[in-house]
Amino acid sequence: MSFAMKGARMLASRSARLMQSRGYADEMKLTFAAGNKVFFDSADVRQIDVPSFSGSFGILAKHVPTLAVLKPGVVQVYQNDGKVLKVFVSSGSVSVNEDSSVQVLAEEAHLVEDLDLSQCRQLLTQYQQELGRAANDEDRAAAAIAVECCEALVKAAE
């Protein structure tokens, strides 16, 4: 056998081993909980999309370890059976670990399908009025945070 053929076989063999060792795992364990409900408790899922203050991002198995702060918005969980669960979160954190486990801890979370658009709009109007009436910096900051959360709530409910 020629030297070129041996080299080609050796290279193909190394490439195959490298691809096998760096392939993506199909399993990712998700724990997703809020003060009002546990959505997943170490469940296998395919993908998670999260809104964070550093930008929204998707998480797959073998994602680089990450810690991020959640901003108000919708977390989407792509389950292994093809279903997508959409959950509105007010705030919280997400941690992605080296072992492909992910923890989403929200201060408050609700299924998007349970949101009432008219009530969300009423809340937004209420907090916008409070922001306009705020007498000091502390009240203004609290109202601004509430307005930001309500704006995301209305967007999720639409």
Strand-strand pairing, 28-34 and 101-106 = parallel
Residue 78 amino acid letter: Y
The domain covering 28-113 belongs, at the CATH homologous superfamily level, to: F0F1 ATP synthase delta/epsilon subunit, N-terminal (2.60.15.10)
pLDDT mean over 40-54: 94
How does pLDDT run across 133-149, given as a tens digit for each residue?
999 999 999 999 999 99
The torsion defined by the Cα of 78, 82, 83 and 89, in degrees rounded to 10, comes to 0
How does pLDDT run across 20-42, given as a tens digit for each residue?
444 445 679 999 999 999 999 98
Distances (CA, A) of 80 to 44, 45, 98: 7, 5, 20
Per-residue confidence (pLDDT) for residue 126, from 0 to 100: 96
Structure tokens of 70? 């959640």
Greatest Cα pair distance, the chain, in angstroms, is 87
